[in-house]
Amino acid sequence: MNSLIHAAKSWCSEVVAGWSRFWFTPSDPHTLALLRILAGAMLLYTHLVWAKDLIAFLGPNSWIPRAASIELHQGTYAWSHLWFFDAPGLLWAQHIVVLIVMAMLMVGLFSRVTSVLACLFTISYCHRLEGALFGLDQVNAMLAMYLMIGPCGAVYSVDRWIAKRKAGGELPRPRATTSCNLAIRLIQVHMCVIYLFGGISKMRGEMWWDGTAVWYAISNLEYQSIDMTWLVRYPWLIASLTHITVFWETFYCFLVWPRATRPIVLAIAVAVHGGIALFLGMITFGTAMIIGNMAFLSPGFVEHAVDRVLTSRIPAKASEATSAQVRRRKHSS
């Protein structure tokens, strides 16, 4: 009996230690910074799209009236600063501020402040525009919410550049932090939840069981951006793509964690969402989901990849400068 109690205690201790390591092990900020750049760019683009017809979306005679938006959220904790005014001048003034904040987040300027403001503005717009939202807006809000938790501007940012200028050109390596790991883990877990419920939802439909779901997607003229109907000649391929997709989505939350299967799962994610972007016209949604999947890239991998890109460009620029100097010397002589 004592041995059984001891084994149970040991198991519980290991579970608690594993839980603590998962959430609270300090992590380098490189992956979070990459997500800040990409998600910030998507937030800026999304709000630029609202600006194409801002008054029609938010004005006094908008498609979704302000009073209707407020009524839709009665009895909830939702809130939007856009419920308090709809004058065109005020709408444009605040929207310009929002665009500036999104741009500052993307480049990493005052990122600890702009990340919080970007999250608040994103959620506020979502609450005001209930009924005109898509999956892209939900993914945007999710990423914005978690970016404000960690030091997303610690690297690859204007904040880092300013700090380097003040320090005389040299800065120590950015330190690993618990908040950075927590932000990344929350994005990873959230992505797993999205895919799990998406897979369960698909399994409730007959088309995902009989292998025709992909065909109905690519043959739908409403979403078709590239004609892929020639695949009808290969029903076995359509059925395979259908079953692979629903299997991958359902078991994503189990297969993305082991190092052996993670590259395969992420490669399928790029293929699935890239296909959605190219063939079904949902470019922004597909891109946003690929950005979310990048949370599973290790900080070391991101740092190495960015360093390789930068070092490959610097020698090229240096050689161009040297060639220009040689040409100037020949010309002067």
pLDDT score for 133: 84
Domain boundary assignment for the chain:
27-176
Check: CB of residue 58 under 8 Å from CB of residue 128. Answer: yes
Report which DSSP code applies to 136. H
- Structure-token pair, residue 256: 């993305």
pLDDT score for 141: 95
Instruction: Show Cβ contacts of residue 161 under 8 Å, excluding neighbours closer than 6 positions.
Output: none
> Which residues partner with 27 through β-bridges?
177
Q: Using alpha carbons only, what angle is made at residue 304 by residues 152 and 300, rounded to the nearest 5 degrees? A: 60
**pLDDT tens digits, residue range 6-27?**
888 888 989 999 999 999 999 9
pLDDT score for 313: 65
Check: CB of residue 174 under 8 Å from CB of residue 28. Answer: yes
What is the rounded distance in angstroms from the CA atom of residue 274 to the CA atom of residue 182?
Answer: 28
Amino acid at 75: G
Mean pLDDT by 10 residues, the chain (333 residues): 82 91 95 97 96 93 91 91 94 97 97 96 94 89 96 95 88 92 97 96 91 88 82 91 94 96 96 90 92 96 91 58 45 41
What is the rounded distance in angstroms from the CA atom of residue 290 to the CA atom of residue 284?
Answer: 10
Q: Could you tell me which of 111, 47, 114 has the C-alpha nearest to residue 82? A: 47
**pLDDT tens digits, residue range 219-276?**
887 777 888 888 889 999 999 999 999 999 999 999 999 999 999 999 999 999 999 8
- The pTM of the full predicted model, rounded to 2 decimals, is 0.89
pLDDT score for 4: 83
Q: Could you tell me which of 270, 274, 277, 218 has the C-alpha nearest to residue 242? A: 218
Q: How many CB atoms are located within 10 Å of the residue 127 CB?
A: 21
What is the rounded distance in angstroms from the CA atom of residue 82 to the CA atom of residue 90?
Answer: 10
DSSP character string of 100-118: HHHHHHHHTSSHHHHHHHH
